[in-house]
Structure 1
Amino acid sequence: MLATTMTNTEESAPAPSEESETLKFKWGKMRGKGGKKKDTQFYESFTLDGVDYELFDTVYVQNGFAEPSIGKIIKIWETPTVEKLRKIKVQWFFRPCQISRFLNGVKIYYNELFFACGDGPEVASINSLESIAGKCNVVCISKDARNPRLSDETVWRAEFVFHRYFDVGKHKILEEVDDKIVGIGVKNLFNKMA
């Protein structure tokens, strides 16, 4: 088992607390309906407490640990139940301390993260939308030709950088991946064009 500080199952997180219900919330662009009965509503965006979020944004997720987890939003929806629970699926980044036993001889940046990929429960999890604790500024420093280059100042100001991946099933650091291994499409990991 990996040393993780994130929810590491595909099960739903607990219902939002009373405190989170006081947050200001508004749905953004709808994506469509799905689920077994085609009554689950999927979205591309939402606003939570005055901050706009979209699919593939990188966020902090508070899940009961002292340090919030960091991940990319890969799915957003509302359940058709009476409570109308708002959910997000997040694909995780690992901090070096979480995968340290697999980093022997690997040089890392002081603020580097590794994007979870491959097969395993630690790749992604489902959380309440209200578990988001804010946006996280992670920039991709991959030299892949498809990744838009950023100024040195932008990279320097970033909270975190990433350019490598951690395959949770094989316990390996990967320099490059394809869409099949990442699951969400490599283009959704690269920097957005300004």
Structure 2
Amino acid sequence: MPVSTISVKSNSPPAPSPESETLEFKWGQKRGKGGKKRDIQFYQSFTLRGVDYSLFDNVYVKNDFAEPRIGKIIKIWETPTLERKIKVQWFFRPIEVSKCLTWIKIYFNELFFACGDGDGLATIHPLESIAGKCNIVCISKDSRNPQLSDKVTWSAAFVFYRYFDVGQRKIVEEVDDKSIGIEVKNIFNKLG
């Protein structure tokens, strides 16, 4: 009897094999020094495993669960002991905030960007915990958000235009710089 196979499109990056874990790494553009002793070097960008990353890129982050977490890089730095770190502000999948979605229609590939004040907004991780870039398109009609073509939007792994307030535990449709902790322009689509 012939065996048939089914191809399934995955929104998750492939898991690196142990043989491919030889870490290719290079720092990019420096931003400045900080910390109590001004001994922490902040960066704008870096290259990891042959992929260029910059502040405000959307990434998959490895964790202990089957699916990697999805977030936006909001800080990049190296400590005096040469530890490479990133701070990631999270996107939430609908299943992660399902108790807050009563009577809300969602897109099949929609995410909610973390905002507000409280646990779950952002966390710090070793830079090496990045599993890859994540293609997310902001479909907000906000005049500050560059609108992308339908082709680009339909080819995105995920879309978002709403936010999950981690403090109030509710979905919101509008935010400002203070409620998300970064400039709003950094969550919208980039052109070019």
**Deviation by residue 1:6-46 (Cα, 9 ceiling, x = unmatched):** xxxxxxxxxxxx98972100000000110011000000000
**Deviation by residue 1:162-190 (Cα, 9 ceiling, x = unmatched):** 00000010011111101100111110000
> Per the alignment, in what secondary structure is the counterpart of residue 182 of structure 2?
coil
* 1:63 CA drift (Å): 1.5
* Higher RCO by CA contacts (8 Å cutoff, separation 6 or greater): 1
Cα distance change, pair 73–20 in 1 and its aligned pair in 2 (3 A): farther
The aligned amino acid for 1:70 is I
Q: How many residues align?
A: 175
The aligned amino acid for 1:119 is D
> Per the alignment, in what secondary structure is the counterpart of residue 67 of structure 1?
coil
The aligned amino acid for 1:60 is Y
Q: What pairs with 1:76-87 in structure 2 (closer than 5 Å)?
A: 76-81=76-81, 84-87=82-85
**Deviation by residue 1:129-174 (Cα, 9 ceiling, x = unmatched):** 0000000000000000010011001100000000000001001111
Aligned to 1:153: 151
Cα distance change, pair 21–36 in 1 and its aligned pair in 2 (3 A): farther
Aligned to 1:114: 112
Does the CA contact (< 8 Å) of 1:29 and 1:46 recur in 2?
Answer: yes
Aligned to 1:3: none
Aligned to 2:91: 93
* 1:67 CA drift (Å): 0.5
Identity within the alignment, %: 73
The aligned amino acid for 2:92 is F
Aligned to 1:137: 135
How far apart, in 1, do the equivalents of 2:22 and 2:94 lie?
35
C-alpha RMSD of matched pairs (Å):
1.3
How far apart, in 2, do the equivalents of 1:22 and 1:89 lie?
23
TM-score by length of 2: 0.89
Please, which of 168, 171, 174 is the counterpart of residue 169 of structure 2? 171
**Deviation by residue 1:87-124 (Cα, 9 ceiling, x = unmatched):** 00000000000000000000000000000000112000
How far apart, in 1, do the equivalents of 2:20 and 2:69 lie?
18
Q: Is it true that 1:58 corresponds to 2:58 in the alignment?
A: yes
Give the gaps of 5 or more residues in structure 1: 1-17
Q: State which structure, 1 or 2, has the greater radius of gyration over its C-alpha atoms.
A: 2
TM-score by length of 1: 0.88
Structure 1 stretches of 4+ moved >6 Å: 18-21
> Per the alignment, in what secondary structure is the counterpart of residue 128 of structure 2?
helix
How far apart, in 1, do the equivalents of 2:112 and 2:21 lie?
32
How far apart, in 1, do the equivalents of 2:73 and 2:36 lie?
22
How far apart, in 2, do the equivalents of 1:138 and 1:21 lie?
26
How far apart, in 2, do the equivalents of 1:20 and 1:105 lie?
45
How far apart, in 2, do the equivalents of 1:130 and 1:65 lie?
17
**Deviation by residue 1:54-83 (Cα, 9 ceiling, x = unmatched):** 0000000002211000000000000102xx
How far apart, in 1, do the equivalents of 2:102 and 2:186 lie?
29
> Per the alignment, in what secondary structure is the counterpart of residue 180 of structure 1?
helix
